[in-house]
A = this chain, B = another copy of it.
Amino acid sequence: MNYDADLPGHVERVLTRFLRIAGDQIEATEPSFASGVETLTEFVLRGGKRLRPTFAWWAWRGAGGDEADADGVLQAVASLELVQACALIHDDLIDSSDSRRGRPTVHVAFADLHTAQRWSGLPASFGLAVAVVIGDLALAWADDMFGAASLPAAALDRARPVWRAMRTEVLAGQFLDVHMQVTGDTSAEAALRVSRLKTAAYTVERPLHLGAALAGAPGEQVRALREFGRDLGIAFQLRDDLLGVFGDPSVTGKPAGDDLREGKRTLLIALALRQAGAAQADLITTALGNATLSEKEVDEVRATLREVGAVSAVEDRIGELTGTALSALRQANLIEPAESALADLATRATQRTH
């Protein structure tokens, strides 16, 4: 079976099936867990670009993976969405984010339920508890779904070290990110390290690596694919940084300048501070993390980021990284249509408006 044409649809289909079977199993023991399973299922199926499974899938196809393994590979790569569900649910809790994709985050939804039901204790404590447990469930089930993929033992054995590295790296990235926020480390070096772990490695490089490992790709091809992933991942993150400050709210779905209000220590900000004069740096750092920043103040920061050349520097860097990424992709010598699909993804990911 070939799933190229509607990969996100097929990823959602196998996620739905896995979550139903795993849910039925535990509900046979403990029926009241149904609402927990339902919360996770709704969260996972609520949307998202299915970017990680898509990168993994094309790397597997492009490295000439055995068509007979397609169903197992689809399940293995779809499980990345459960790791991502844990990361998002726990990140939202850590960042105290109220909404995601236009809906309340898990901890907020359950705090609201607590209030509506007039339960005892604090709504926020209940929301926290549920978000911690449901995130843990997503992480545990990600492992179960990956490990239960119907694949030759050799293929799973090749992929497992990559899977493990990916999981640890995203947690290291989160740990580093949390430290950066509290220590106020605005250096470009720290921002780049977080980007490398949370986006380049976790979102692009490791999924590609995982797909290549499942296919049994030779070392040289794996290296070229990972290089493609590293450069593309950083470019992807830089585009995200720009959208977080300059993005159109009607397209991104987030308030304009939201990254500024949240005080995100991005590479864009780090570069701007490095190039800014004292007054400009002051304007930026004062705005950063000010939750009540007005539209006008956001506009002032935008103007300053342009003035000091940070915006054009980041745009240039995105262009360069996309170029080196695409050249690494060609070196990987993938079978078509994988090379074209990945080149297309790379272009869309770095030129996107949301």
Contact = CB atoms under 8 A, between A and B. Distances in A.
Given A133-B171, A139-B140, A168-B140, A176 B30 contact: yes
A136 B133 contact: no
Contacts of A33: 172, 175-176
A244 to B, nearest CB: 19
Chain A residues touching B, range: 35 or more
A249 to B, nearest CB: 26
Given A136-B135, A140-B168, A140-B171, A182 B30 contact: no
A222 to B, nearest CB: 17
A160 B147 contact: yes
Nearest to A193: B30
Given A120-B182, A147-B147, A178-B126, A137 B168 contact: yes
B168 A130 contact: no
A169 interface: yes
Instruction: Please give the count of copies of this chain that the complex contains.
Output: 2
Contacts of A168: 22, 25-26, 137, 140-141
Interface in A306-352: none
Contacts of A210: none
Interface in A143-173: 143-144, 147, 153, 160, 164-165, 167-169, 171-173
Interface in A20-41: 22, 25-26, 29-30, 32-33, 36
A88 interface: no
A86 interface: yes
Contacts of A147: 147, 160
Interface in A32-59: 32-33, 36
A50 to B, nearest CB: 22
Contacts of A121: 181-182
Contacts of A22: 168
Given A25-B168, A130-B178, 11 more contacts: A29-B172, A33-B172, A36-B172, A90-B132, A119-B182, A119-B184, A130-B175, A133-B175, A139-B139, A140-B143, A140-B171
Pairs A-B, 6 closest by C-beta atoms: A119-B182, A33-B172, A94-B129, A129-B178, A30-B172, A140-B167
